[in-house]
């Protein structure tokens, strides 16, 4: 049986994707901070599942607990790193900036490192990281969030390059969503807001096709192209 660990499975995209994986023959490891939500999710899954409560903002503890979960499941071939946070922070409060960095940078790198270590020893597998369209440019209302997602995308590319140089058949998928109907969708003027289930379906298709990168939903590729092409003098007026 195929086995996957979803980090950040208690809500949002991670929860929706865990349900899809469980319905498609995967044994699923459910990792996240909120035990009650993980237990509720476990009761909905038709396949074998495992729970591990961990908080990626505490990297040393998260590393140890993730290794425990891998040992319990024995042969994990897919890791989905969906844990993340973000705040609209126009006052540049250091408390919110630090929280974002602790989760999206230090926490992400910690669990991605464990996943890479396991798959490299195994000799094959798949890592999926949930980044954001915000990774493309800096954001004045949420500097740490945009920068942290750029870190996620760049770290994933680094892992892909590492595995490629070692000629290991390990796929690394960078998922860059637009607006998703989760607790992190903050601010005014949101558009093209997709449900977590719709986003999860597109991510699962990308996993099946072993894609390196996707925008979700697909229409956001147009916005991504515009953001990359836009001169600074226009972007700074938005």
Which helix (H) or strand (E) segment is 118 a member of?
A: helix 108-122
- How far is it, in rounded angstroms, from Cα 26 to Cα 233? 48
Tokens of 68: 């425990």
**145 catalytically annotated:** yes
Length of the chain: 238
Q: Which residues lie closer than 8 Å to 235 by C-beta, 6 or more apart?
A: 137, 227
C-alpha pair distances (Å), 4 with each of 31, 35, 158, 229: 11, 18, 22, 37
Query: Whose CA is closest to 14, among 50, 54, 44, 41?
Result: 41
- How far is it, in rounded angstroms, from Cα 45 to Cα 23? 7
- How far is it, in rounded angstroms, from Cα 80 to Cα 182? 17
Kindly name the residue from 26, 50, 145, 215 that is annotated as catalytic.
145
- How far is it, in rounded angstroms, from Cα 105 to Cα 8? 14
Cα dihedral sign, 8-12-16-19: positive
Residue positions annotated with a catalytic role: 145
């Amino acid at each position: 049986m195929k086995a996957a660990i979803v980090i950040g499975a208690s809500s949002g995209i991670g929860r929706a994707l865990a349900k899809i994986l469980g319905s498609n023959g995967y044994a699923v490891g459910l990792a996240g901070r909120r035990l009650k939500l993980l237990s509720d999710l476990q009761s909905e899954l038709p396949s074998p599942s495992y729970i591990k409560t961990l908080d990626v903002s505490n990297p040393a503890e998260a590393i140890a607990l993730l290794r425990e979960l891998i040992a319990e499941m024995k042969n994990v071939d897919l890791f989905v790193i969906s844990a993340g946070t973000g705040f609209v922070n126009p006052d540049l409060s250091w408390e919110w900036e630090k929280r974002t960095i602790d989760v999206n940078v230090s926490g992400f790198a910690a669990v991605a490192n464990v996943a890479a270590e396991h798959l490299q020893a195994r000799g094959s597998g798949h890592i999926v990281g949930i980044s954001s369209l915000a990774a493309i440019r800096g954001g004045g209302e949420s500097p740490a969030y945009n920068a942290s997602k750029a870190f996620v995308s760049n770290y994933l590319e680094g892992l892909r390059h590492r595995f490629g140089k070692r000629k290991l058949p390990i796929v690394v998928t960078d998922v860059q969503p637009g607006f998703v109907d989760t607790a992190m969708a903050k601010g005014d003027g949101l558009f093209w807001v997709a449900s977590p289930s719709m986003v999860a379906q597109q991510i699962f298709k990308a996993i099946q096709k072993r894609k390196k990168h996707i925008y979700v939903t697909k229409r956001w590729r147009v916005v991504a192209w515009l953001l990359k092409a836009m001169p600074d003098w226009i972007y700074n007026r938005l």
